[in-house]
Structure 1
Amino acid sequence: MMNIHVPVGVSARHVHLNKKDLEALFGIGYELNPYRPLSQPGQFASEETLKIIGPKGQFNKVRVLGPLRKETQVEISMTDSVALGIEAPLRESGDLRETPGIVLSGPKGSVSLSSGVIIAARHIHFHSSEAARYGILDKQDLSVQIEGNRGSVLHHVIARVSDHYQLELHLDTDEANATGAENGDTATII
């Protein structure tokens, strides 16, 4: 495989809501207000934030991302998991089987999730045409090199392929801090 250069996106803790939970937290008929677009087409950070509360700790002002999803999902880092006092598993986004829950608190109410908290597995979004050009398959296991003062090679980076994606490596804040990577840096698939 040829070396493929990929922009880096660092993903801080955040929440994806379904309609039912959005209305429980913000009020009936409420709609998310886009704050800024994200790199993936149609995705946005909203103006709305929540408090997430675990058995041992909590985080305030956790950003809600849009658009709404079928299931509410909370994405945190391993460090966050320890601070909250929960054992969140490493998973691909959307894989919520056998995951711990958490309490979400908003301006109009709270929701006690029985499941839905994950540490998102590092992954690269590929548009289908790019994946075809590079010979990348959906769910393929890749390795990525990150340059810089804390340069590292990360293995087990999952390829995610869709007509709705734009090329970008997604790391959580723990991974970004460990490798010295920042938004907009470039990584290389090796």
Structure 2
Amino acid sequence: MKDQVNQALIEKITKAVMEELAKHQIIGSSEQKTHVPVGISARHLHLQKEHVEPLFGKGYELTKFKDISQPGQYACNEKVTIKGPRGTIENVRVLGPLRKQTQVEIAASDARKLGVSPPVRSSGNLAGSAPITIIGPKGAISLTEGCIIADRHIHMHPNDVAAYGVRDGQKVSVLVDGEKGGVIGQVTIRVSERYALDMHLDTDDANAFGLTGNEWLPIIS
């Protein structure tokens, strides 16, 4: 009897460990995956080549501070001030590499402080977005468009799509447990060979659900 109890306990513990390893993708799993890692994206901007010199000086090149979650992307040492009709926000970090069009990504609370009305958009969808002024150590530029609130999204490599049972562009919901838990809806699946698995939320969403960026959350629909 004792041996049977011990064997049952071993099997239970083994199953729990294997499920946890599969959830964190340390090992493979024959079952559909559900959990994704959370990344919190603070206000930042991407610059096009033509805007680097006006902000930082003639011949200036951005310098790398550290890599971030997506392959080939990194935080730069450079920071700027962004300005709207009602206020400014200092120390906004530049991310690299350079983009085709300068893009400023802020949270809704930032927008209220600045006095701007950016739309919720996917990265790169800037047509008709909000105007904003960027101030660097050597000068300033005023954009007629380029400021957005980034939509909630999950980066996935094509290899992840079948494992999670989703498709590019699909809107899903993600469950959060805890004292400030709830359901995060309207999360866009983005698929590219350039991506690594990561869910991106802005600071407003993260604070609303009590998230720190160290969680793995399940996709529920």
TM-score by length of 1: 0.96
What does 1:5-154 correspond to in 2, within 5 Å? 5-154=35-184
Cα contact 1:146–1:186 (8 A) shared by 2: no
Rounded Cα–Cα distance in structure 2 between residues aligned with 1:128 and 1:29: 39
In structure 1, what residue type is equivalent to 2:83? I
**Cα distance, 1:2 vs. partner?**
4.4
Cα contact 1:53–1:104 (8 A) shared by 2: yes
SS at 2:100 equivalent: coil
Cα contact 1:90–1:118 (8 A) shared by 2: yes
Root-mean-square deviation over aligned CA pairs:
1.2
**Cα distance, 1:135 vs. partner?**
2.7
Which of 50-59 and 135-144 deviates more?
Answer: 135-144
Cα contact 2:120–2:151 (8 A) shared by 1: yes
**Cα distance, 1:36 vs. partner?**
1.2
Rounded Cα–Cα distance in structure 1 between residues aligned with 2:59 and 2:169: 37
**Cα distance, 1:27 vs. partner?**
1.8
**Cα distance, 1:167 vs. partner?**
0.6
Higher helix fraction: Structure 1 or Structure 2? 2
Rounded Cα–Cα distance in structure 1 between residues aligned with 2:134 and 2:128: 19
Which structure's CA Rg is the greater one? Answer: 2
SS at 1:86 equivalent: coil
User: Can you give the 5+ residue segments of structure 1 that lack an aligned partner in the other structure?
Assistant: none
In structure 2, what residue type is equivalent to 1:98? G
Which of 75-84 and 145-154 deviates more?
Answer: 145-154
User: Can you give the 5+ residue segments of structure 2 that lack an aligned partner in the other structure?
Assistant: 1-30
TM-score by length of 2: 0.83
In structure 2, what residue type is equivalent to 1:75? E
Give 1:4's match in structure 2, choosing from 26, 29, 34.
34
In structure 1, what residue type is equivalent to 2:168? D
In structure 2, what residue type is equivalent to 1:103? T
Q: Deviations over 1:26-58 (max 9, x none)?
A: 123222111111010011111000000100010
